[in-house]
Structure formats: C-alpha cells, structure tokens
Structure 1
Amino acid sequence: MKKNNGKIRFVDLFAGIGGFHNAINKVANDMNMTTECVFVSEIDEYAIKTYTNNFNISDKNIINIRDVDEEATNVPEHDFLFAGFPCQTFSNAGKKRGFLDEIRGTLFFDIANILSKRTPRYILLENVKHLVNHDNGKTWKIINDKLREIGYLIPENPLILSPHEFGIPQERYRVFIPGIYVGPEKAKTEFLHISLEDRKKMNPLSNMNANEIVSFIKEKFLESDVDEKYFLASDPKNQYLLDVFDAWNEFLINVKKPEGRTLPVIWANELNKSYRIPSDWAEWRKKYIIDMRNIYKNNKDFIDQWLIKYEVHNWKKRELKFEWQAGKDINDIRKSFIQLRQSGIRCRRPTKFPTLVAMVQIPIIFDDNKKGWRHLTPRETANLQSFPKNYRIFNEISEDRKDFFSYKQFGNSVNVKVVSYIQEELLKIDKKTL
C-alpha cells in the first residue's frame, strides 16, 4: 500500500457509532493531516442512524461485511483498517464459543480476507480482554498467526488497556491489536514494539487523592443540571429500591466491622442462619458464610431489628446481596457508585466507574445538587467514552428520544481517547523506524 503523507484513508469495520472514526479525526488534526473514510460496515440500524448523523456518510454506503466479495473488490484502497469485531462470543458474559460460533466468531476471517487482498499499511483491532485467554489461548494464537501470515508486524504480548490508566474514570480493560504491514517474512520473525507508558505517566488521576478525583469527576464528566427523568424517585416503581438503599446504608453505618477490615459481602437472607456448612462448597463461598456469621454474632441485636424493620424477607433476590467495594474510609453508600448486577448490589469506590456495558447496567450515583439517586445520563456515558462534546447521541437525534439505544451504543463502543493514543503511536513508530 502506497503511503499518503497528507491524508489518512481508512475503513471502519463493525463501526458501531464511530469511536475509531472520532479518534482518527482527532489524531489527524493533531498531526496536521486529513482523513477520508472510504468504507464502513455495520448492521445495527440504530447505530447506523447515529453514525450517519455525525459523519458525512450516507446509510446507503454502509454495508454488511458479509457482502464483501471474496476478492474484496468493493473495499477501496486504504491506509488504516479499524475493527472492533463482535465480542459476545469471546466475553465472560457470552457463551464463549469463539470460532465455533458460525456467525460472530468467524467474522475475524472476513477482516483477514480484506487485509490479505488490500494490505493497508496500518491496522487496529479491538476486543474484550477475555479474547486473550479464550480456549486456553488458542483463539488468540490463531488470530496472531493469521495476521503475521498476511504480513502484519504486531506486538509479541497482548496490549490490554483501560481508560482509567489515561485519566478517564472508567475501568474498562480491552485488548487491542495494532499492526503495521511489513510483509510475511519480516512479520513472522519480528515484533512491533509499542508502549504507552509515557501516556500513562501523564494520567492526572495518578497524582490525586480520593477527594480530588471525586471533584475532578464532577467537573469533567458529570452534568450539573440533570433532567428529573434520570432520578429514581421520578418513577413510583423505584420506591422499593430506594427503601433498600436506605436499609443497606443504615446497615453499613451501624454494624461493627472486623478490625482493620471493611464490610464483607453480605447475603441478608443468611444473616440469622446456623446450618452446618457443606464440606464440598467452594472455599470462597465458605469464607463468605463464615464472615457473615461473625458479623451477625457481633451485631445480633441490631441486625435482628433491622431485618424486621425493613421486611427483608420480602426483598427480591438481587437486593439481598450487598457488596461493599468502596473502602474502609467511606461509610455512606451515597458516597459510592452503585452498580446493580444480576447477582446483587455492588457499591464501588467513587474514583472510577465500572465498565459501561451493552446490557445497559447503567451506574447509579447520588446527585448532591438535587439530593437524590439517579442514573448516569447518556451524555455522561459519552463523556466516559471520551466522545467529543459536539457528538450527537441517539436520544438527541431520534424522534422517540429513547435513551436505551444511547446507553447500548456507548456500552458497545471503544474509548476514543485510548484508541487515539494507539493510532498516533502507530503513525509515529512508522515514521521513526520502518
């Protein structure tokens, strides 16, 4: 592929809402270059609507990657190929079928086919970090071997990164595969040396204490005036959940914890039980039970009254489990980030948000301005994925203004800032050494 030093021509596969596209535009602007998106593949109609409302591309020009012919003749020549290929089949949340998944798993080979026919100078692929360990590492080896066989110089070890390592308060580890085309002979014997350690050293979060990080998050990532619809109290159906939050907060504040430790995982329906622990239970489960029994033993009077006061026996299964992960120095759930998981209520330390996911488990925070629990807004999730302020999100452009699709789209997206760092590093390495 002949290099064009003034313009970066790229293809955006499994494009979603354009995380890679946003990133390369930023990089090109910083490096005094221009970009041209020459090919886009995506099948989600709602993502396509968001994509076309933000970039100068018609939905008629966005196709299913399955419609690319065997010789990739409908894919124009390009300098950079991006692909955040579907991850459900490799993730811990999925069925982990990998390449046995006839639809999603084999989509990597559609990427490989385009690469073998068009050999763009640069590639950047992204997936969930579990891809590295899937099928005892066999899936990762297949992908790496195939890329080297085509002629791409790639790192020897997986490049696993999270936004919180670069000043974005979200823990979201993903594996990235950057590459530069050098031909099969060199690619099979050498490795691409890429490091973002200098970028990590510039992380502003690393030099802040917890209170400073909380202030930083409020200033840079959260909105100051949030619509009432995002508050749990706006829907009477949420009163039960608000009562549960109050109950667990009272529990957290009043129970005596083990000396030098924070509150262990609590299953409310286990607190006053005394059955013999089965010997064949997993060690982690045995420890949970023992820890809870010690908490109950040291707080029996309070807990017995608490169980009655809040009618805990009527709670749903999810609300019975309480995981405190906010540390020993915080003793109020209003100071934590709440993640409602299928398995229970998890309270995180308020210095970074949990991974945004497509399953729409939107974090819940206590809004100090309006004194109430609320979900993050779609715009706040956009901020946590480093999308620019002028980016038009789905609920702003759709007639029904549904938030569901906005949350889903940002949960599926790459983080723009992390991706832009890798893209820029690839371009710089190429100029210096290859």
Structure 2
Amino acid sequence: MLAIEPAATASPSPFTAASDDATSLLLQVLDIYATRDVLQTLTDAGGLDWSVSRLNRIRQEKSRVPALSSREVSSLQALLPSRPLHYDTPEFQFIDLFAGIGGIRRGFEKIGGQCVFTSEWNKEAVRTYKANHYSDPAQHQFNSDIRLVTQPAGLTDEQAIYQHIDQTIPDHQVLLAGFPCQPFSLAGVSKKNALGRAHGFECEAQGTLFFDVARILAAKKPPFFVLENVKNLKSHDQGRTFAIIMATLDELGYDVADAADSGAPDAKIVDARHFLPQHRERIVLVGIRRDSGLSDGFSLRSLAQFYPPQVPSLQSLLETAPEEKYILSPTLWQYLYQYAKKHKAKGNGFGFGLNDPHNPNVCVRTLSARYYKDGSEILIDRGWDHAQGEVDFQLASNMARRPRRLTPRECARLMGFEAPGESHFRIPVSDTQAYKQFGNSVVVPVFAAVAQLLLPLIQQHQHRNT
C-alpha cells in the first residue's frame, strides 16, 4: 500500500552514510510508518540490503544510515507531505489544538494560512497527522500535551504562567481547537475568588481542557478562534458547561458568532449532510475579538453560500473492489440482525444502518470512533433481499450477500479528507486506529467553508496591521 513509484532514473545519490539529511529523512519516515512498510518501500525502490532488524537498529539509533540511492530518497520523500506553495508567504498564521488528524487545519491551510503550532496527545493520530501535513521544524512546533504549556510544572503565579504561554506558543491570528467536552467543577471557587484571581474562568473552568484553550486566548489574544465540539455540548451537564464556556469567551473579550441567536435551527449547529452524504451535527464556535470591530454582521448562516451544488453520492465515495475482509462475518451479521429485530419488536430504534449505495439520495448515520467494533452504524448493502430476510434469514443467497463495513479509504472520503475517487490521503496506521481517527475527526469541507467565510475578516485584520 505504501510502495511509491520510483524515479525514472537512478542517478548517484547526493547523500552519504554520514549525511545528516539522509539520517533525518529516514528517521522522519520511520517515526510515521511501520517498519515493514518502510522496508517494502525501500525494497521496491531497488534497495537490496534492507531488513526489519536493520531499520529497527536505525530507529533506535544503534546503527548509522547507509548511503541512499536517488530512487530510495525519492521513494522515502514521497511518503512525506510536500511543502505548500504559500508556506513562505502565508496570508496568516494559526495554531491547531487537540488537532487529531488535522481536519480543521486543512481548511485554513487551503485559504493561505500557515500552521505554526500543533498539539495532539494521541501518538497514533500524530502519525497520521505528520504523514499528511507539512511541518518545518524551523517554522512549526509540535506539542504532545497542551497542559505542559498551559500548566507548567513549578509555576503557580498566573501572570508567570501567561508569560510562559506567550513565550512558548508562536504569535498567530487564528486559534483552532476541537477540544474534548468535560464537566466543570466549582470546587474552591470562593477561595480562589478571595485570592483575587485575574480571570473568572480560572475558577470555573480549571480541571477541564477548555480551561487550557482559555488560558491561551488570555495570553496570546489572537483576533479569531474556531472551536468545535459535539452538538450535545449545549445540553451537557444540563446546559451549565456551555454557559460557562460562553461566559468565559465573553469575559476574554470575544464576540461569538450567533451567540444571541434565538432562531431555529441554531446557526452554530452545522450538519455535514450539506457537504457530504453523512448526517453529522457539530457545534461550531467562531470568535472575533470585540476590540477588532470586525464582528458585526458575521453569521454562520452565511455558510450556505459554500454548499456544493450537489452533494456527492455515497456510491461515488466507495472503492470499486474493496477487500473481502470488510464483509461482515456470518456470526456478526446474524448477531446484528437479530439484535435489531428484537428491538424493533419492542418499538425501539436500536439497530444497524444498512445503506443502499445505488440510492443517490442516501445519507448515512454519523461515523463514530467505535466503528471498528462492528461497523453497525454504516453498513453497505451488497444486495440483501429485505423481504426474503424476514422469511428466512439463513437463506443462502442472503448470507452470501452479507453487508460490509466501509474501508478506511472510504471513511477518508466520507469525512472529506479526499474527493471521490482519490487515494492521496496517507493512512499509516492499522484499520482499527484509522476508524477511531476518522470517527473522532471533523468533516473537512465544513471547516473549509468556515475558513472561507472568515477569510475576508482575516484579510481585513492583516491589512490593518501591516
């Protein structure tokens, strides 16, 4: 899967065994891909002296990198993201917090932004992120746990902490964050108030990951932010969580788009079905600093202008010849079928989601991080006879046409990481990890539209400050 077509000619390699460039290139690739995949790539490029044990020794820095041929260099470089054309002359800078595999980043990079700081703690997600997003160590920092920045060991004074954040995180104009949703605790509020805390959120939001976002906003004061979360954030903890978030953002000097909108439906809740055939509602909070004077009239209702003329069909996202391993086993299919049948008899809505790919109007359920378990929320119909199934589930023809899961490649397309028919998004992890990553991600075109909507304001701000 990772084999890359080598260069047409094999000119002498510019690298030597002692070359820092050769060592850096190979270690960078080994940091992302499984050793056996790297071995296959090098072997396909004509390398005859490679082995898993040798690559592992290089990975562990127990062995030096040998001379690399130009074909080997080209094949390794093809496994890494290329440098964006605008990288050295960006429109603006942004940071990517709780980045996952970079779904929000892609939209803001597309409009000319340069990512200067990324934070993501999941090592498997980081592998996928690095495989698909260019990172120049001289212009981009990678952080694993944002709390190492926002809650530095040994510092307790708030002003010292803010100074540390300001010095650690590069200046930026847009903060992006798909932060996890957690309950807030008011423990110790009165004591902290008595100590004269600089910000109310230091009391109410502490212990949550939103608290870390708030501290960065307080320290860096970027003119714009985009926060993403599940729709249920609004009702979480009986609405108290969302109320604290909104009060905090207001306290920090930001106007949040459509915050006072009492209309229905809520413009902050965006459904991906307007862009791709997946019902996936997420809350999108776009903040603009009040003192910028740019927030008047900005509304997420204007996202409709960026809806595609026609939503791609489910069929267009599917691979032409998926591997048989994605077909449900007879045991799993029987379990899901009987489970759904039992709950249907009770009047419940529990059950699998069987989707006919030939229906041009089909819209699948939300892809979740648990998809790897049984794939039940999105199953692809392979010709199941629904009427006959009620009569004889074990009918040979029905069992032969058992539905299948989406492949990881199809999940990438369903989430908008690549267009129908494309296969350029690199998936360096196992299927299980890939399903988790796509299920936890955002639908890329949604945030590409948010970026497009925000771009004129970013440009106005940049023009004023240049």
Q: TM-score range by the shorter chain?
A: 0.5 to 0.7
Instruction: Name the residue aligned to 1:169.
Output: 277
Alpha-carbon distance change, 182 to 323 in structure 1, aligned in 2, over 3 angstroms: closer
Alpha-carbon distance change, 190 to 391 in structure 1, aligned in 2, over 3 angstroms: same
Give the drift of 1:99: 4.9
Instruction: Name the residue aligned to 1:376.
Output: 406
1:14 pairs with 2:122: no
Instruction: Name the residue aligned to 1:52.
Output: 130
TM-score, normalised via structure 2 length: 0.59
CA contact (8 A) 2:117 2:141 kept: no
Alpha-carbon distance change, 223 to 422 in structure 1, aligned in 2, over 3 angstroms: same
Give the drift of 1:414: 1.1
SS in 2 for 1:352: coil
Kindly provide the CA deviation profile for residues 92-114 of structure 1, in whole angstroms up to 9, marking residues without a partner as x. xxxxx345799996111111111
Instruction: Name the residue aligned to 2:221.
Output: 119
Which letter does structure 1 place at the counterpart of 2:144? I
Instruction: Name the residue aligned to 1:67.
Output: 148
CA contact (8 A) 1:379 1:393 kept: no
Instruction: Name the residue aligned to 1:92.
Output: none
CA contact (8 A) 1:153 1:192 kept: no
- Once residues 431 and 60 of structure 1 are traced to their aligned partners in structure 2, the CA distance between those partners, rounded to angstroms, is 24
Instruction: Name the residue aligned to 1:367.
Output: 382
Instruction: Name the residue aligned to 1:386.
Output: 416
Instruction: Name the residue aligned to 1:222.
Output: 318
- Once residues 100 and 382 of structure 1 are traced to their aligned partners in structure 2, the CA distance between those partners, rounded to angstroms, is 40
Give the drift of 1:335: 3.9
SS in 2 for 1:146: helix
- Once residues 136 and 81 of structure 1 are traced to their aligned partners in structure 2, the CA distance between those partners, rounded to angstroms, is 27
Of structures 1 and 2, the one scoring higher in RCO (CA 8 A, sep 6+) is 1
SS in 2 for 1:183: helix
- Once residues 431 and 49 of structure 1 are traced to their aligned partners in structure 2, the CA distance between those partners, rounded to angstroms, is 32
1:160 to 262, 269, 274: 269
Which letter does structure 2 place at the counterpart of 1:45? K
- Once residues 334 and 23 of structure 1 are traced to their aligned partners in structure 2, the CA distance between those partners, rounded to angstroms, is 29
- Once residues 362 and 216 of structure 2 are traced to their aligned partners in structure 1, the CA distance between those partners, rounded to angstroms, is 41
Which letter does structure 2 place at the counterpart of 1:178? V
Farther off after superposition, 51-60 or 126-135: 51-60
- Once residues 44 and 150 of structure 1 are traced to their aligned partners in structure 2, the CA distance between those partners, rounded to angstroms, is 29
Kindly provide the CA deviation profile for residues 245-283 of structure 1, in whole angstroms up to 9, marking residues without a partner as x. 9x96xx9xxxxxxxxxxxxx623xx6xxxxxxxxxxxxx
Give the drift of 1:349: 11
SS in 2 for 1:374: coil
Which letter does structure 2 place at the counterpart of 1:145? A
CA contact (8 A) 1:386 1:415 kept: yes
SS in 2 for 1:354: coil
Which letter does structure 1 place at the counterpart of 2:407? T
Give the drift of 1:49: 1.0
Alpha-carbon distance change, 160 to 5 in structure 1, aligned in 2, over 3 angstroms: farther
SS in 2 for 1:23: helix
- Once residues 233 and 93 of structure 2 are traced to their aligned partners in structure 1, the CA distance between those partners, rounded to angstroms, is 28
1:199 to 305, 309, 316: 305
Instruction: Name the residue aligned to 2:121.
Output: 43
Give the drift of 1:63: 2.5
- Once residues 46 and 325 of structure 1 are traced to their aligned partners in structure 2, the CA distance between those partners, rounded to angstroms, is 28
Instruction: Name the residue aligned to 2:433.
Output: 405
- Once residues 204 and 238 of structure 1 are traced to their aligned partners in structure 2, the CA distance between those partners, rounded to angstroms, is 35
TM-score, normalised via structure 1 length: 0.62
- Once residues 325 and 367 of structure 2 are traced to their aligned partners in structure 1, the CA distance between those partners, rounded to angstroms, is 20
CA contact (8 A) 1:153 1:190 kept: no
Which structure shows the bigger proportion of residues in strand conformation?
1
- What does residue range 161-310 of structure 1 map to in structure 2 within 5 Å? 161-164=270-273, 166-183=274-291, 192-196=298-302, 198-199=304-305, 202-205=308-311, 216-219=313-316, 221-232=317-328, 235=329, 237-238=331-332, 240-241=334-335, 244=338, 266-267=344-345, 288=347
Instruction: Name the residue aligned to 1:141.
Output: 243
1:85 pairs with 2:113: no
> Sequence identity, in percent?
32
Which letter does structure 1 place at the counterpart of 2:129? Y
- Once residues 415 and 201 of structure 1 are traced to their aligned partners in structure 2, the CA distance between those partners, rounded to angstroms, is 13
CA contact (8 A) 2:98 2:119 kept: yes
- Once residues 200 and 54 of structure 1 are traced to their aligned partners in structure 2, the CA distance between those partners, rounded to angstroms, is 25
- Once residues 104 and 365 of structure 1 are traced to their aligned partners in structure 2, the CA distance between those partners, rounded to angstroms, is 44
CA contact (8 A) 2:368 2:436 kept: yes
Structure 2 residues not aligned, in runs of 5+: 1-87, 153-160, 188-203, 385-399
Alpha-carbon distance change, 231 to 350 in structure 1, aligned in 2, over 3 angstroms: farther
Structure 1 residues not aligned, in runs of 5+: 29-34, 90-96, 206-212, 252-264, 271-287, 289-320, 327-332, 338-347
SS in 2 for 1:373: coil
- Once residues 358 and 86 of structure 1 are traced to their aligned partners in structure 2, the CA distance between those partners, rounded to angstroms, is 14
- Once residues 358 and 417 of structure 1 are traced to their aligned partners in structure 2, the CA distance between those partners, rounded to angstroms, is 19
- Once residues 432 and 304 of structure 2 are traced to their aligned partners in structure 1, the CA distance between those partners, rounded to angstroms, is 37
- Once residues 218 and 77 of structure 1 are traced to their aligned partners in structure 2, the CA distance between those partners, rounded to angstroms, is 44
Alpha-carbon distance change, 145 to 40 in structure 1, aligned in 2, over 3 angstroms: same
Give the drift of 1:359: 2.1
Q: How many residues align?
A: 314
Instruction: Name the residue aligned to 2:67.
Output: none
Farther off after superposition, 385-394 or 167-176: 385-394
CA contact (8 A) 2:118 2:141 kept: no
Which letter does structure 1 place at the counterpart of 2:277? P
Kindly provide the CA deviation profile for residues 22-78 of structure 1, in whole angstroms up to 9, marking residues without a partner as x. 1212233xxxxxx32111111101001111111223798332100114221210101
Alpha-carbon distance change, 100 to 375 in structure 1, aligned in 2, over 3 angstroms: farther
CA contact (8 A) 1:230 1:374 kept: yes
- Once residues 62 and 391 of structure 1 are traced to their aligned partners in structure 2, the CA distance between those partners, rounded to angstroms, is 26
CA contact (8 A) 1:163 1:415 kept: yes
Alpha-carbon distance change, 336 to 43 in structure 1, aligned in 2, over 3 angstroms: same
